[in-house]
Amino acid sequence: MPKKICYARGCNELISMKQTYCDKHKKIHEEEKRLSNYIYDLTIRDKNSTSFYHSDEWLLTRADIKAKDKGLCVLCLSNKAITFMELVHHITELKENWELRCEPRNLISLCNSCHNEVHAEYKRSNKHKEDMQHKLKSLIKDR
């Protein structure tokens, strides 16, 4: 069977004609691909969301949600505390579903401290995240 040399520079491993890399370099190549996808996500996609946060579309939606929630943190209110809202949070995150970026049923007014707690739950596990998303959605179901 004809053989060729691994595509990686400096590697003399013989591989079959169908392969591009030897096993070792195939792993390295895949790891590099994963890494560049990850960097793509961090830079390109985040640029996308950064410009979104400055768009008229978002600023108008944000003002609308703030008015709907009467300028208060909905989570604090559910604990019978009155706290001014500081931001509008995406229950399903932008990176998860771009289509829901201005959907009122996906947006909730929060204070900074509640917002930090919400994101801490999101990070704990998928289960904690789903529970928190469910709770937040139930708090705004009337609008």
* Continuous segment of H or E residues that includes residue 83: none
Q: Which one, 76 or 136, has the nearer CB to Zn ion?
A: 76
Q: Which one, 8 or 102, has the nearer CB to Zn ion?
A: 8
**Both ends of the chain: CA-CA distance in Å?**
69
CA atoms of 137 and 69, how far apart (whole Å): 13
Asked if 115 and 109 count as a contact pair (C-beta separation under 8 A), the reply is: no
Site string for Zn ion, 22-61 (x = CB under 5 A): x--x------------------------------------
* Closest by CA position to 118, among listed 137, 101, 100: 137
Q: Is 73 in the site for Zn ion (CB under 5 A)?
A: yes
Q: Is 89 in the site for Zn ion (CB under 5 A)?
A: yes
Q: Name 64's Cβ contacts closer than 8 Å, sequence gap at least 6.
A: 104
Taking the complex as a whole, the smallest distance from the CB of residue 75 to Zn ion amounts, in Å, to: 5
Q: Is 65 in the site for Zn ion (CB under 5 A)?
A: no
Which residues are at the interface with Zn ion (CB under 5 A)?
6, 8, 11, 13, 22, 25, 73, 75-76, 83, 89, 111, 114
